[in-house]
Amino acid sequence: MAFTTQAEKQFLTKALYFGATPFKTTLQVDTTTYFCDPDAPREMLNEMKNSDVDFAISSRTLGPFSPSSWATLYNWNSRTKLLLRDWVLEMLHDGITVQDDQAQIHRALMKAVEKNRIKTRRLSSNWAFTPKGYYGDGTKRANPCNLYISVPVNGNVRVT
């Protein structure tokens, strides 16, 4: 398959970089991510490091799981390595769209869960968030200025 745009190449690069982490526990966030307080990244990493969870990813909704890779937190191990391999394979199989690189991680993650190959959790937006811009009719804004913030939270948000 051939990638046609620079953005398509970057989605694959992003997934490959996940697997190139030099750390046992990694927190990956997009450049549009904001932390609820300055201690959140350290606390997130410590909590993950001391857990039995392999991979945590943000979700677009509080309802049915809808992963969004604006924030991922993972412990590097053989289970995570297989998940990231499967994510890349899903992207190569589908062809990568500029609009979304999330469907492939969702499928890879659900397959790993079904096969009991990974322990995963939602990454709470109570720690961090990324603003999403929408017009009044609910369609997504291309320009993030004057946006409505839509962030799924399910408890107290920490702020300083």
Q: What is the pLDDT of residues 4-44, one digit of tens each?
A: 555 555 777 888 888 899 999 999 888 778 787 788 888 88
Higher pLDDT residue, 159 or 97? 97
Higher pLDDT residue, 82 or 155? 82
- Please state the rounded mean pLDDT for residues 83-98: 82
The mean pLDDT of the chain is 77
User: Which pLDDT does position 160 carry in this prediction?
Assistant: 35
User: Which pLDDT does position 39 carry in this prediction?
Assistant: 85
- Please state the rounded mean pLDDT for residues 73-97: 89
Q: Which long-range contacts (CB under 8 A, 24 or more apart) does 61-70 make?
A: 61/152, 62/152, 62/153, 62/154, 65/106, 65/122, 66/102, 66/106, 67/102, 67/105, 67/106, 67/109, 68/102, 69/14, 69/28, 69/30, 69/101, 69/102, 69/105, 70/29, 70/30, 70/32, 70/33, 70/130
Give pLDDT tens digits for 47-62. Answer: 999 999 999 988 877 7
User: Which pLDDT does position 125 carry in this prediction?
Assistant: 74
Does residue 144 surpass a pLDDT of 50?
A: no
Report the percent of the chain where pLDDT is more than 70.
72
3-state DSSP of 52-78: CCCEEEEECCCCCCCEEEEEEEEECCH
